[in-house]
Amino acid sequence: MRGWLTVCYRSNRQFANVIVDISVEKLDKTFQYRIPEELKNRIEPGVQVDIPFGNRTITGYVVEVTGEPEYDVTKIKPVIGIHKGSVPIESQLISLAGWMRKNYGSTMNQALKTVLPVRKSTKQVEKKQIRLKMSEAEARNKLALFEAKHYTARARLLRELLGEHELDYTFVTKQLNISVSTIRGMEEQGILVVETSRHYRNPISHLSQTDRKHPLNESQSRVVETITADIKAGICKTYLLQGVTGSGKTEVYMELIARTLEKNRQAIVLIPEIALTYQTVMRFYNRFGDKVSIMNSRLSPGERYDQFERAKAGDIAIMIGPRSALFTPFSRLGLIIIDEEHENSYKSETAPRYHARDVAVMRAKMNNASVVLGSATPSVDSYYQAMQGNYTLLKMTERVEHKPLPQCEIIDMRQELKRGNRSIFSLRLQELMEDRLSKHQQIMLFLNRRGISGFISCRSCGNVLQCPHCDVSLSQHEGGRMVCHYCGYEEPLPKVCPSCGSPFLGAFKAGTQKIEQMVKKRFPGARVMRMDYDTTRTKDSYEKILKTFANQEADILIGTQMIVKGHDFPNVTLVGVLAADMSLHVPDFHAAERTFQLLTQAVGRAGRGREEGYAVIQTYDPEHFAVQTAKDQDYEAFYRQEIMYRTMLSYPPVWNLLLVQCQGEKEDEVALAAEKMSQFLKMQIAVIEKSVMLVGPADASIAKISDVYRKVIYMKTKEYGTLVALKDKMEHVVKDDGAFSNVSVQYDFNPTSGF
């Protein structure tokens, strides 16, 4: 572990705040009790206690232990005792919330709302689906009839149903513009049926035969047997499973889950929301059937509550979902899997700003469970933990069935410009695209858009304009100014490149839409699809695009990072990465890591099927180590360079970093509060005899968002616990000092983005 420091204020442990009903909305409705001397060391968040309530004795959960009385001390009644009997799962989750509050900084209420599903008092809105009720042949006859009669609305709906079999009710009324009476009419005719369901649709009718259970190959078995042997020996560890793209990690997860179920225990599988596609979900359904439940962000709080009730009742044993699925109330949890563990979405962006990885490790510890973190491109954080011996590293270095990793080639776009090619496609990429199109193979074009608003570079020499005082690139702002987000340095945008004098200077702006147009113009015969934020805004559109492409109804798929996730397209033999260096120059110390991950994952999309894959990386920065190592799919080489850089600059994971944000509506108030906090911290640091680097206060990278001013202070130090202790002290300052009455203070430990 990172040396989490448990700071206890035994002397301040006089009172317990207790909640008596955890299923209602108002978790902040707490009642305060005095802690009798003999219980002082045993009462912690999560402990179930018996308490006097009116003239009855009831049971509640301690959520907070504090030294601050909420009303007249003489009137506070004492806790009767610790409740006898088995420990309910809620105890554990509340204690986890307490741990999160402590280690990430938030109010207890925020932490509780994160871990406990809350039943909404409002009536639940149920999801309605429309399903085709007749056979396809019958439906086609009906469709022909409707078309002949010019019943356009009915024909439209039927056509959609023929493609999809099941449609969301609101999608039909809103997007397809079909009236309620039309739907009712068709229902009466027995063409369709309207169903209300709270749970994820029953997948049985969609069972596909494409994903049979594979016998594990040698490296897969080795991983499974290693973990199983540890579990048999009663050892619970965190494993980092580094398996190249297409090495069969999901099959490993499923085997581990099967063995967990055999022991009558339960499993949680975290998958990034974006990869929570039909295809992924089906693989688990095919293997485990009704024991599986899915959670996604589209569920209403009520539905989430239902899911959790089913988990508690033992109706399901496997929960798949994004970050929040981590809090599924399984009482016999045996395994937590985090797929694509390097993904940013595992870090919460609201308080408590927890990282699912660390919370998973903590929750697993409470349950005696194992954790498996899987990725082709592990986060530098996790790999570092593995190198430190805190995680156990397991590797799968080959694709299944010995399929080769794609060949990869770097194209220096500066040379292209020299040769007079000003198009966004290099000659080499055009040539390869032509070849694949003629062979009826598919192509993916990936536009790296991270940091699009970002840096300014020279298209002739690749020079990126940097702040003279900081190691970050300048960002283009309105009015032709360039600004440093770290120190505020500003200068006008030069007319020519300061390094080579070329006039081709500017922020890279081409979007996917523009690229789509250019592709269509250059390859008029090709069927082109685009996947980006604009084309995936409506529900299911994401799935639809993937499905169309998987069915080979399109030749070229253009997209942002969305397209590199999770999907297997066996007919894709060429991947082109446009603007590979886009993410290299964002002002964030993770820039190289993100770039390496994106490139490796993008390249890994090619050659999943019978034909070998090929990838082209177009860049203005061909020598950059993140680009070079991604080309070679060489994680270790990347890591060696990157960790050297992090060590040199004392960045995480080598040191820990705490970002403190002060926010408020009045600029001077925020500035004053931030200054006070910084002075206070400097005093604290002077006395603790630990080396802590403090920077700030400074404007946040976006100094004002919707009229809220933001100032930041950040601190770096070796021990995570030192930062937690400083955070605790800051919480007192915020409570006691009037300067903070209109200024909120938020904590972000080891931020993963925008820093």
Give contact residues for Zn ion (rule: CB under 5 A): 458, 460-461, 463, 467, 469-470, 484, 486-487, 489, 497, 499-500, 502
Q: Are 266 and 317 in contact (CB under 8 A)?
A: yes
Among 51, 97, 167, 216, binds ligand ADP (CB under 6 A): 216
Q: Are 259 and 228 in contact (CB under 8 A)?
A: yes
Q: What is the DSSP letter of 410?
A: E
251 is in the binding site of which of Zn ion, ligand ADP, none (Cβ under 5 to 8 A by kind)?
Answer: ligand ADP
Binding flag, residue 221, ligand ADP (CB under 6 A): no
Of the candidate spans 31-39, 124-132, 243-251, 618-626, the one that interacts with ligand ADP by CB under 6 A turns out to be 243-251
State in angstroms the smallest separation of the CB of 636 from ligand ADP: 18
Binding flag, residue 568, ligand ADP (CB under 6 A): yes
Of the candidate spans 151-159, 181-189, 246-254, 256-264, the one that interacts with ligand ADP by CB under 6 A turns out to be 246-254
Measured CA to CA, the distance from residue 175 to residue 488 in angstroms comes to 46
Measured CA to CA, the distance from residue 594 to residue 582 in angstroms comes to 11
Binding flag, residue 282, ligand ADP (CB under 6 A): no
542 is in the binding site of which of ligand ADP, Zn ion, none (Cβ under 5 to 8 A by kind)?
Answer: none
379 is in the binding site of which of ligand ADP, Zn ion, none (Cβ under 5 to 8 A by kind)?
Answer: none
Q: How wide is the angle at C-alpha 187 spanned by C-alphas 181 and 193, nearest 5°?
A: 125
Binding flag, residue 217, ligand ADP (CB under 6 A): yes
Binding flag, residue 435, ligand ADP (CB under 6 A): no
Q: Are 363 and 333 in contact (CB under 8 A)?
A: yes
Tokens of 585: 């120059």
Exposed (0-12), middle (13-18) or buried (19+): which is 301, by Cβ within 10 Å? middle
DSSP per position, 203-269: -GGG--SS-PPPPP-HHHHHHHHHHHHHHHTT---EEEEEE-TTS-HHHHHHHHHHHHHHTT-EEEE
Among 30, 95, 219, 220, binds ligand ADP (CB under 6 A): 220
Q: Are 429 and 412 in contact (CB under 8 A)?
A: no
Of the candidate spans 46-54, 125-133, 248-256, 625-633, the one that interacts with ligand ADP by CB under 6 A turns out to be 248-256
Of the candidate spans 210-218, 428-436, 482-490, 722-730, the one that interacts with ligand ADP by CB under 6 A turns out to be 210-218
92 is in the binding site of which of ligand ADP, Zn ion, none (Cβ under 5 to 8 A by kind)?
Answer: none
What Rg value do the Cα atoms of the chain yield, rounded?
28
502 is in the binding site of which of Zn ion, ligand ADP, none (Cβ under 5 to 8 A by kind)?
Answer: Zn ion
Residues 388-417 that bind ligand ADP (CB under 6 A): 400-401
Tokens of 137: 């042949």
Of the candidate spans 106-114, 138-146, 240-248, 325-333, the one that interacts with ligand ADP by CB under 6 A turns out to be 240-248
Binding flag, residue 251, ligand ADP (CB under 6 A): yes
Nearest residue (CB) to ligand ADP, 265 versus 565: 565
Nearest residue (CB) to ligand ADP, 251 versus 748: 251
Binding flag, residue 613, ligand ADP (CB under 6 A): no
Q: 556-559 and 528-531: which strand pairing?
A: parallel
| 220, 571, 613, 621 from 400: Cα distances, Å | 9, 16, 14, 33
Nearest residue (CB) to ligand ADP, 527 versus 547: 547
Q: Where are the beta strands (DSSP E) in 101-151?
A: 127-132
Binding flag, residue 248, ligand ADP (CB under 6 A): yes
Count of C-beta atoms within a 10 Å radius of residue 84: 7
Nearest residue (CB) to ligand ADP, 488 versus 570: 570
Q: Are 25 and 119 in contact (CB under 8 A)?
A: yes
Applying CB under 6 A, which residues contact ligand ADP?
Answer: 211, 214, 216-217, 220, 243, 245-251, 400-401, 568
